[in-house]
Structure 1
């Protein structure tokens, strides 16, 4: 029989009656016997002893159950008014409020209601499943907002406080939440973060708890605290590598720089394993694989035994080159782009370099290079490893445009159309048009890149150009051929060179001092330009340390009535020295000379000039040097230029104050006298292809007629 504890004091009589009726206490005898029997043994009227109730005190379990008679005697005496009507026993109920009828409701019809119930349900697809849109208050200025403070303990002592705050959900919330539940969720997330960070540096018994505390004072009424307990630090015990022997024998050990007794730091472990996975392919093992580590922790000694399985695979040497896909290059031309010889020990760095060189041709939509096993054994026991080049052609044509502006040279725009593989392999046709305030022209160029050697270029140029510059006006036709070995962003070379031949026919005006007038003459020039460069800088486009040296020499012959041989030469040196991590001092000195010819017999376009963005900034283009009686520059047979910059970089931006100096001389050797100076400041925006440059400069001790301010915009550093 189920037990209930009744509390009947203070209950009005009628309510007590209802309770008793509901509980069965006033059920008639037959019904009570049936209920009691159901609670006892089958077939018996008396109830059996109830099993002990779980959760009930033992002293209560031992008490006898109160019988119905005892329970009835314990009830208080009911009122004598039990025979009165119920409405006299209970307080009067409040009057019912009339309910307004539903507008437009149809009259209740019993037959109609039955017909409506009996009607079939509409098909499911006819139900309107559009959710009922509830109005949402926009820009609710009264939205609840809880501001909280974050407190972290236990992590600063082990050097994890900054890293924790960088990743913390509490910190990421900026101290604001909609309710306390969100703050608690963020705090619990930070508990797990703290534990993960501590375990990552060797505290494998670490724990963390979070609490929320009300702090009525101040503008943050809640403080979320994450308390971290690192526990003991675990260190490496035995370090074991499961791998076959390598050549050299210590190849893996030399790169897996983990030592017994060091803390088990996850970052150092991952870095050491990555070093092994990189070193093996770089030293002849193209198919090596680093397996899953195993660290067995010992709670007694606080150490972890580390095991790393490594599958080294066969040691290999470069074999043949295979191609697959929509071929752009045959294996023979791909071999030209390699920086290794067949039978060299396999090196993944050289494979990556080959892939980069293929991408640099801009002829592929996608290209990949991967090693392939051949099963062929070399005499030294290594395996020949072929390289499989998968090629997918890309668009070979390019339409490009570039433009610039500088004071003295005005606006210059150039548009070019290029087919990079019109004459395979890598035989390009380039058509160019130039339009500007001082230059107009067109040219056609045939260029073969990687001509028999990587980064060696052969090109033939035919051009026609009209020039209207400060020193002269000219109509020039040029036919030239050139072979060059150049540095590229992929492969910056210490030694570069170029040689070629040039045939020029030009009609230019010059000032004739004998007649004291300007006249036009026609010159035919044959030249053999030569170039050599030595580069010890650390970057091709944006050097920060090192030096460069360039030498240009051009034996030439000018024919205007008579042949006059001469030689033009120029030498330039630059140096780059870092002062701090963000400041680099850069300097340049450049000298030029023309030997073997008088200035008046030299075509104006072959003379030296100074001034402008690539020369002495602050002065206009060709503004420095001797002038004719009509005030226009006439150029010289020698010059010198000097420049110094302080390049200060912050992020992707930079500020560059600079000072330039230079002069042009009538003599065949520079005199290092009468130097003119220009000063200014520049801005730099650094991109992945080089810095964009904007320089503003002005002459020092400016003379009448010289530029007040000069502006230069271009790509790349000034030098």
Structure 2
């Protein structure tokens, strides 16, 4: 047998032997000239992968150094768990044992995370179907899972990895998770505070020890990122109130042995409270010192306020940018007088060099066309750098609503100190939606809805939508399309085709209907960044379908002017919106004015509506909100104002506590008719729900409402106003804003219909 082996001349070097050549030379292969290379043991890996990685070729002289290098190169591929080199005569034989391939990755016991989300996280670390299995990689994935659970305050979570071999050298991976209960913040302590009470300071935090709403807000779940944000809020609070030398000395986070309770202790040093003694400007201000002085919001004699200092330095930097100085540096240097607790601020400026924009690039838009983004830019290529125009451009792109993130980066151009490139980085979000749903309100009962909308059709920036809405009293079918850049100047065009049916809100058991069908075209002309003027026209037909229990006013109108009326309404409107949020505003103002004038047809009238909303922040949590709405209509050419164009009031959206749409004139049957004149006044005090922390998606409000609807021949009499007061709950739910209100009428008249508890989805005020 030994003679047979020697005669064949078979020699072997293994992966382990390659690492210990120096210690045990008996494993080494004698040098020889490679006449051929053969690979054995392959199942899925292509031979070409082996040959491409080997540092040896046919005709090369084999030696120990090259053999060790070959083994290292093949192991570096990560495809094999064993590699051997053998020699059969002058033929180099590469014997490999492939790693098993991952056939499937599954998760068991996971409730906190969606399985698809976890699988995506595993793909990011390289652990996915079709990839070679690596025990070290699986261990790393297991630790990553534990880290994700720790981020959700599940410190007791345990992860067990099970590797199950299956046919064809494959394995199934199963991560079995025992999540346990989340650790909750049991105590938060602030040590060292003297100027402000501990409860006041802890009230600034988004994290707390929990309350009866913690199941919803999860504010008592510890998160390091949230704690850092709370510490920054605490620091800003002190720095905005004169405590220039405030510092956070340490933060201790302790967890109980059972990993269920967390205690947080924050040690602070407040320092002395400083008053600003003066503000000086030093440096080069482009001979525009008076302009820069007008931007200073720091006031001598007031406590030092870091927010105002930051606001002033940013205003200076932005103003330098308006003149092309993209690299201006502004520094606020405090000169502290500790004996008198006063501080003088020196604003030092160095404008550096003026620059112009060489190129504007767009990145991250996989679907949206470049032109859709570029046409919102007010900073142009080959123009002087202008900070105001760049910020405005960024805001305009963000307001498109097509992206989750919009950032503008300024990059210096190598070798050109007076040039910069701007890179617009966007992250796209889905802009199409298909909705099927049902809603319920105290007024409309069950309402089914269907909508298909695409706000960015084919990446063009155009809107296309079809809405179908049905309820007991109002049904709608609308087709709408908008081209926001119908002209290069940014004039928008909207086309609508609609079909609506309606009847008075209260159920009279009748089968009559008002049927309105029409089409319209509307153009929007932007006059500023916040102001838009709309104008357009349409063709509309309204039919009064006579049925049982029809209000007398509708019957009289149909008998006198016909049951079908045509009109050619022209519309003009204006809107301005600078609120900080459309769903949960805390500051800002919203205004809109709409007018409609029917210039031809059977129905001749003019109709206008003005609304204003003002939000005043009292602090981070509390808001005062005011709403006012005034509507007026008048018949033309000797005809009365059409009854089917009347305004309605009462209920959510107007005067709460009264039945929906029941205020104002009535006919002999007692049915509410609405009227051509309407006034609504609302005031709200908005606050977070106790226990919900600073969560703005769930809030309660106290309100006072007043309003009424007047007939065409009635005067505006404040003595006729109905009024109510009450409490409500607002929740930004997955279906839209949900508001529940309990109102008590405080000024009512005989015959008024009262409805104290009301709720609706998708309304404000």
Normalising by the smaller structure, the TM-score range is 0.5 to 0.7
Shift of 1:286: 1.9
Equivalent residue of 1:528, what SS? Answer: strand
**Counterpart Cα distance in 1 of 2:494 and 2:431:** 18
Q: 5 Å matches for 1:247-396?
A: 248=288, 279-281=319-321, 283-288=323-328, 312-317=351-356, 321-324=360-363, 326=365, 328=367, 332-339=371-378, 346-364=385-403, 367-372=406-411, 387-391=422-426, 393-396=428-431
Shift of 1:352: 2.9
1:294-321 Cα shifts (integer Å, max 9, x gaps): 999999xx99999999774432356664
Residue 644 of structure 2 is aligned with which of 598, 605, 623? 605
CA, structure 1 residues 669+362, in 2 after alignment: closer, same or farther (shift >3 Å)?
same
CA, structure 1 residues 532+362, in 2 after alignment: closer, same or farther (shift >3 Å)?
closer
**Counterpart Cα distance in 2 of 1:612 and 1:623:** 8
User: Is residue 504 from structure 1 mapped to residue 551 from structure 2 by the alignment?
Assistant: no
What's the TM-score once normalised by structure 2's chain length?
A: 0.50
Structure 2 residue aligned with 1:680: 725
Structure 2 residue aligned with 1:553: 596
User: Is residue 592 from structure 1 mapped to residue 633 from structure 2 by the alignment?
Assistant: yes
**Counterpart Cα distance in 2 of 1:165 and 1:606:** 54
8 Å contact 1:619–1:710 — kept in the other structure?
A: no
8 Å contact 2:588–2:614 — kept in the other structure?
A: yes
CA, structure 1 residues 675+433, in 2 after alignment: closer, same or farther (shift >3 Å)?
same
User: Is residue 530 from structure 1 mapped to residue 564 from structure 2 by the alignment?
Assistant: no
User: Is residue 457 from structure 1 mapped to residue 495 from structure 2 by the alignment?
Assistant: no
Structure 1 residue aligned with 2:464: 429
Residue 708 of structure 2 is aligned with which of 652, 662, 687? 662
Equivalent residue of 1:572, what SS? Answer: strand
Equivalent residue of 1:614, what SS? Answer: coil
8 Å contact 1:368–1:389 — kept in the other structure?
A: yes
Give ranges in structure 1 of 5+ residues lacking alignment: 1-146, 174-193, 209-223, 559-563
Shift of 1:370: 2.9
Structure 2 residue aligned with 1:569: 607
**Counterpart Cα distance in 1 of 2:191 and 2:428:** 58
User: Is residue 477 from structure 1 mapped to residue 512 from structure 2 by the alignment?
Assistant: no
The number of aligned residues is: 503
8 Å contact 1:432–1:442 — kept in the other structure?
A: yes
- CA root-mean-square deviation: 6.2
User: Is residue 695 from structure 1 mapped to residue 752 from structure 2 by the alignment?
Assistant: no
CA, structure 1 residues 265+594, in 2 after alignment: closer, same or farther (shift >3 Å)?
closer
8 Å contact 2:552–2:669 — kept in the other structure?
A: no
Structure 2 residue aligned with 1:130: none
CA, structure 1 residues 616+306, in 2 after alignment: closer, same or farther (shift >3 Å)?
closer
Structure 2 residue aligned with 1:119: none
**Counterpart Cα distance in 2 of 1:615 and 1:265:** 41
What's the TM-score once normalised by structure 1's chain length?
A: 0.53
Give ranges in structure 2 of 5+ residues lacking alignment: 1-186, 210-234, 250-264, 689-695
Structure 2 residue aligned with 1:420: 455
**Counterpart Cα distance in 2 of 1:306 and 1:659:** 48
Structure 2 residue aligned with 1:445: 480
Q: Which moved more, 1:341-350 or 1:499-508?
A: 341-350
Equivalent residue of 2:460, what SS? Answer: coil
8 Å contact 1:496–1:533 — kept in the other structure?
A: yes
8 Å contact 1:475–1:508 — kept in the other structure?
A: yes
**Counterpart Cα distance in 2 of 1:285 and 1:639:** 57
8 Å contact 2:606–2:634 — kept in the other structure?
A: yes
Shift of 1:460: 1.4
1:48-78 Cα shifts (integer Å, max 9, x gaps): xxxxxxxxxxxxxxxxxxxxxxxxxxxxxxx
Larger Rg: 1
Structure 1 residue aligned with 2:502: 467
Shift of 1:632: 3.4
Structure 2 residue aligned with 1:711: 758
CA, structure 1 residues 598+414, in 2 after alignment: closer, same or farther (shift >3 Å)?
same
CA, structure 1 residues 673+324, in 2 after alignment: closer, same or farther (shift >3 Å)?
closer
Shift of 1:566: 1.0
Equivalent residue of 1:357, what SS? Answer: helix
8 Å contact 1:455–1:487 — kept in the other structure?
A: no
8 Å contact 1:476–1:506 — kept in the other structure?
A: yes
1:302-359 Cα shifts (integer Å, max 9, x gaps): 9999999977443235666443454555555434323567787533343233223323
**Counterpart Cα distance in 2 of 1:259 and 1:566:** 59
1:554-611 Cα shifts (integer Å, max 9, x gaps): 21544xxxxx351222243657597987656655444332333545x94x53344444
Q: Which moved more, 1:358-367 or 1:679-688?
A: 679-688
Structure 2 residue aligned with 1:10: none
8 Å contact 2:355–2:384 — kept in the other structure?
A: yes
